[in-house]
Structure 1
Amino acid sequence: MREAWRWFGPNDPVSIADIRQTGATDVVSALHTIPTGEVWPIDQIKIHKGLIEKNNKNQSSLIWSVVESIPVHEDIKLGRVDNQRYVDAWITSMENLAKCGIKTICYNFMPVIDWTRTDLKFQLPNGGYALRFDQQKFAAFDLFILQREQAETDYSAAEIKQAKTAFLAMSEADRALLAKNIIAGLPGKMTDAYTLDNFRNALANYKNITKDILRKNLFSFLTQVLPKAEQLGVKLAIHPDDPPRDMLGLPRIICTAEDLDILFSALPSPANGITLCAGTYGSRPDNNLPEMAKDFGSRIHFAHLRGVAKDKDEQRSFYEADHLSSDVDMVRVISALLNEEKRREGKKGNNDIFFRPDHGHQILDDIYKQGNPGYSCIGRLKGLAEIRGVIKALTAVG
């Protein structure tokens, strides 16, 4: 398995020099300045690649190996009649990346918003901070801040009562922060932040989009992209919906093992793969991560290794736990990935599984630094060290 680290570009407070010191060998990055739907030009890809790899002759080598992500335009997700130009642009970006030697691409098909949390600085008992999703706070936002049309149909009477209690207990500052945390554009989302009004409008576009329609639109997109990916030797790795369930009236279609079975039955191309995000899949009680890592091993091109701890009384609420102390059996997941790599030995092409430590805690000096939520340096370094130790131990015992 190849150790990777996510880098958000020159403005990332964790520099390329810092990444070298972690011992990682590969970088996961993207052209965050290119608007969604536009082509990633070769010259811009080369410049970004040069920033990552420019000191490889004299220092520890770093390679830009994985793209996370090329955003999929909303018109493609909505299946609008004029979406072909965005599909063509996505394919051209993929071709340009392949020409520069970058052939693993993580992407997602989440409508409107990327990964969603209610708290970006949830204090842990040890004094550090983690990301958290609180179902009651989320319901309070949906029902009483956003005031989404017909939102009450998604909640029971008891849930509405609890959400109202939570809402009334918030100050105006608390309510503003909650709205900002949910809609203001987290690192994975490469568009400008929403306001409440344009967020409502964006949600309204999906009023008549069911799971079946959204899945049909994904399949239409992939039907055009996968043949070209096969020709280029590119591996596509779809990221699950985070959290992995319907929310805000939006359908979600990459949440469970069943969803993946549907995807691969319809589109069995070897280029069609997944990002095994252990924390995302693990935040659903009905997902068995070690079994998923084993069953979909041949489709795993990239892995986000992190764990979550679900609330005992409300399983939809969770916080980002330590990498090895969570509801995810990380040792068994890593063992399944190592076994998959062993199975691939001797086969044509690059068969390594890239992974990165994900959503590290904000601890030590990083508590006093401004960084991308979930992407502090020291917390991820701790996670990487723990994962590295598991890999060493499992490799040593066979």
Structure 2
Amino acid sequence: MSAKHTDTTFDAAAGQSDVRTALATEFEKRHGQAPDGLWSAPGRVNLIGEHTDYNAGFVLPFAIDRRAWVALAGRDDQLARVSSTFSEETVEIDLADLAPAALDGWSAYPLGVAWALLARAGTADTAAASDLARRGFALHIHSDVPIGAGLSSSAAIECATAVALNEFWGLGFEPEELAAVGQVAENQAVGAPTGIMDQTASMLGRADAAVFLDCRSLESQSIALGLDAAALEILVVDTKVTHAHATGGYAARRASCELAAQTLGVPTLRELTVDDLPRMQRLLDDVTFRRARHVITENARVEETVRLLTEAGPNAIGSLLDASHVSMRDDFEISVPELDLAVEVSLASGAVGARMTGGGFGGAAIALIPRSLRPALEAALVEAFAARGFDRPDLFVVQPSDGATMKGHHV
């Protein structure tokens, strides 16, 4: 998302009760009525498994304790009216006119979800979808997931909107179905060619656990992280270098992966393993080979991370996080100097492991650190960024948390 956060009503550190009260107040101010209910969904950190999801590979994200909140109320017409704390604009559209071509800007995220939900309902029951399209709604969004930091602020908004409308319209879709709805909205309404990882993490997250997702079968498994028991925590280093998935770099990397698969005669790069790398190097040009090599080796790193977490705990996975960053920096070429510096300083300061996270070209790095080292690491990062003339990074710890609220808090 590229919208700027302009609202000061909400405090990111406030408790959920305070957020709900402020959100309900803001909703009534923007829409002239009280909300029927409040729903939320988290952002995510990807522990490991970058750019593997749209290649039908493996990913290991976890939901975080920063969330998007949605307040919603029914209307007595068939209008969808959406507002947010990151824009002064309120967007209104007739539900009958919802279509990707009619949507743009920040409102394409919630309205794209509404369109995708109606489309999915219509494949099962056209009459029901027609009836739903006459049940208008007002919706207001607040999020404390940093925008452009690689923590999936967009999926948080999509999933919060999806669970709200799923309950409001009585659709009964399961969390996995709502994750797919969010991906369709992002791909077709927003125009970002992302995979399904972000929405799945937002929907299926669990406290102190990661979601091991097979993006080919869509089978998932909760993997205990054991951070508290090991006295470890995950520090996010938001470089403040913003990125946008709907722009060229991400799409170009996806196109390279698809070209590699086509050249090698396989449906996706998931079909290949590290044993295929010598043959691939003979058949592909250097750039395409390196793009594909990242995906194939990253899949192997995800599987090994899951094994080590299960058998040995989080202190054992550091070298895999480090290798993932090197692969993204050198083979996939999606890092930036600020991300490389964050990883370098973290490792020099005693981190178990560190890597950039998210789609790349900016955003955030993560460092898996002993809890006792956080003050020294934060000081070292601030000093190093200043010495290089970079903007001061935003530093915060994230807790692996529960996913979206399938049932709203009614007010």
Is the TM value for this pair above 0.5? Answer: no
Query: Comparing both chains, which one has the higher relative contact order based on Cα–Cα distances under 8 Å and sequence gaps of 6 or more?
Result: 2
Determine which structure has the larger strand proportion and give its number: 2
TM-score normalised by the chain length of structure 2: 0.28
